[in-house]
Chains A and B, each alone.
Chain A
Amino acid sequence: MTVDRALTRLVRDESGRVLAALVRITGELGLAEEVVQEALVIALRRWPDVGVPDDPRAWVITTARNLAIDRIRRRRRFEERSRVLGELAALRAPASPEEALSAYPDDRLRLLFTCCHPALAMDARVALTLRTVAGLTSEEIARAFLVERTTMQQRIVRAKKKIQAAGIPYAIPDPAHLEERLAGVLSVVYLVFNEGYGPTSGDLGLRVDLAEEAIHLGRLLHGLRPGHQEVAGLLALMLLHHARRHARFVDGEVVLLEDQDRALWDGEAIAEAMPLVEAAVAGRPGAYALQAAIAALHARAPTWEATDWPQIEHLYRLLRVRVPSPVVALNHAVAVAMAHGAPAGLAMLDALDEPLAGHHLFHSARAALLVRSGRPDEALEAYRRALELVGTEPERRFLERRIAALVT
């Protein structure tokens, strides 16, 4: 492997793991980031002469660890001796590469719980998770959330400072507190996934790497709490949505679920999700479990028409109790239309006009039901309203095609 390729791969795929290992070793996010950067610079200088090491990741971790030891030693002048000695004692090198590897999932989970700490503001939690656990640049995160790069940098820096100054621990919460903390972590992971699945705006419809990163975090959490229904539910939900990634866009154009080529769906991801759904919906299922169950019914159906709509309608009814949001109600109305006919769905939609009038999905869903009810003029009007409100380019082109189909 060439030096460039090895380093690119390391930075792209492994930076979250490497950083998490260094945070565990040093107990400090800022220091960990500095020494990882420095170790990468050393690799860039040395590898062309000595060749790429067998295990580049282990090499970077070891080098960064040694740099961290040096820096902490140098601090001795400034800090109490006893504390420094304690830190040095904690700097134990992993006995073998295997041991170093086995510590990775725990390292990343610890860092994830730190980044998702409820003492941080929600937007800071998401940004910090993407920066430190997923290894994205501030610039990428800023683009994903449509804020200025400097704003995002400040947000991340402020959050890191608070972690350090306020003593937010690098730890997986003890069993007594794990439950209450888990819900917050799940919502951050789901936000990361959604940013990969359908960014709120911009030209690119899909960021597969963010979605995969979120699924990876979901698997880690599932490994931590295999019996937790909402963890299983969220992981299944993400897998099932991700399974449709190759069918959602054709030549950069949005393809609706009803028009997707189901042969393009990822059977492996669906197969991984199905047993998770089973486990998640037992007893009194939570919001993620219910959404996963809905996605599973879609995944099982051979076509849009042959989908078990009465069951999906029932699941949305349950979901509305858990999540009383107008967007869930919108999806429920679509399911009602499929199960009981377009007029029944339209009647439900009309009741949602007030909360959702500014949402393009409301108008495009209403337009589709109006077409099916044989009211093309009103449908055209609704599609035009949706077009005024739409965020992303592919969605805009989709609506324009629908309008063109009605006009001709």
Chain B
Amino acid sequence: MQYVALIYDVEDRPQSPSEFEEMMGGYFAFNETARGQGALLGGEALEPSSTATTVRVRDGEVLLTDGPFAETREALGGFYLLECRDLDHAIELAAKIPGASTGCVEVRPVLHIPGDG
């Protein structure tokens, strides 16, 4: 099954260069683990939510808002697309994402649409 792991964390947490190094090391280690299990289908880190633009179309008109859809302390900072045996496997991997220890990771199954590819 395919799952998306959405990583939410506080964006403006002050970080020393060594803390940043440590965090990146954690992500590289996670990538290795997931790749080793054949579970890593993709994933990206995102620019901060201050760079986000929310798009809505109402009555055919495109409406733009500066910033993310939800105003919360923790913002979406990155995601992984994972191929897992089942939810237990996905949870096990999600718990290894560094963001799970500082913020949280939402695990969502990918909707399987019959006949679509």
Contacts and interface: CB of A to CB of B under 8 A. Distances in A.
B24 interface: no
B54 to A, nearest CB: 27
A168 B107 CA distance: 12
Contacts of A78: 114-115
Interface string A96-140: 000000000000000000000101000000000000000000000
A168 B86 contact: yes
A167 B90 contact: yes
A285 interface: no
B87 interface: yes
A169 B86 contact: yes
Contacts of A282: none
Given A78-B114, A78-B115, A79-B114, A166 B87 contact: yes
- With most chain A CB atoms within 10 A of its CB, the pick from B1, B3, B85, B91 is B91
**How many of chain B's residues touch chain A, expressed as a range?**
10 to 19
Interface in B84-100: 84-88, 90-91
A167 B109 contact: yes
Nearest to A168: B87
A165 interface: yes
A173 B107 CA distance: 19
A379 to B, nearest CB: 52
B109 A169 contact: no
Interface in A52-80: 78-79
A161 to B, nearest CB: 11
B1 A119 contact: no
Contact of A169 (B88, B111, B114): B88
A173 B88 contact: yes
A177 interface: yes
Contacts of A177: 88
Interface in B47-87: 84-87
Contacts, number: 29
A167 B114 contact: no
Nearest to B3: A167
B115 A167 contact: no
Contacts of B111: 165
Residue from B1, B88, B114, B115 with most neighbouring chain A CB atoms (10 Å)? B88
Interface in B1-52: 1, 3
A192 B91 CA distance: 27
Contacts of B85: 169
B21 to A, nearest CB: 31
Contacts of A171: 86, 88
Interface string A168-179: 110101000100
B100 to A, nearest CB: 15
B91 A167 contact: no
Nearest to B114: A78
A169 B3 CA distance: 14
Contacts of A79: 114
The 3 nearest A-B residue pairs measured at CB: A169-B86, A167-B1, A167-B86
18 contacts: A78-B114, A119-B91, A165-B109, A165-B111, A166-B87, A166-B107, A167-B1, A167-B3, A167-B86, A167-B87, A167-B90, A167-B109, A169-B86, A169-B87, A169-B88, A171-B88, A173-B88, A177-B88
Given A78-B115, A119-B87, A167-B3, 19 more contacts: A78-B114, A79-B114, A117-B87, A119-B91, A165-B109, A166-B87, A166-B107, A166-B109, A167-B1, A167-B87, A167-B109, A168-B86, A168-B88, A169-B86, A169-B87, A171-B86, A171-B88, A173-B88, A177-B88
